[in-house]
Structure 1
């Protein structure tokens, strides 16, 4: 056997095996317990030093689509999928409006990941936004 042929075969095997290697998606999660004893989980690192950090690895799905998967008649159409999403958004918007209108003190997470109590002005703004979303997702007709 020619040594060049063996090296070429070895190179091809290494190339193919390295292309089949799939790395896992890693998500870093932080957890801590606040002064009230409530356990929190977040992907945003808290500013205080009393937290635990861990990683979750999610393997990449390597399933290749079969002809049955590609041409499955039972799969929802795009319109059906959008209708389902609209129903979900409608339900969430109604729930948000209910909470905003029926509770005095509302806690929200701001852009920096910190909890804050909504002011009256913020609360009115969120109520208006929830009403607009209800109009858009619950009362819209196609």
Structure 2
């Protein structure tokens, strides 16, 4: 009988400890960015390339620039979006997404502002595009530009 009481008592203590630890909970984390590149650009777009924009002081990812491509005819459509990372989601730091036809520099499309989650989508129909994005970290503009075909 004493063994049964000891086992029941140990089980109750373990249950109480588990309940207490569950009610305390984990520490709060930064809100995650609920948006995805394909969700922002729309149906049919597929990721071609991406580039992380990293903090100069911590090397942590502040935002990521994505270029996506959609094949709907002989000439593809491209889309660029710059998504803030979980660490920067919701802040008012400026982000930018830009795209232009690689053969027609007058056709540049840009979305730039103090957006909470992302800049873009910016889209152009072309064979090849120059694409890029920026994240403003105080007095520094972290930027990336590249070519996609």
Name the structure with the higher helix share.
1
Q: TM-score when scaled to structure 2?
A: 0.25
Name the structure with the higher strand share.
2
Comparing both chains, which one has the higher relative contact order based on Cα–Cα distances under 8 Å and sequence gaps of 6 or more?
2
Q: TM-score when scaled to structure 1?
A: 0.26
Structure of larger gyration radius:
1
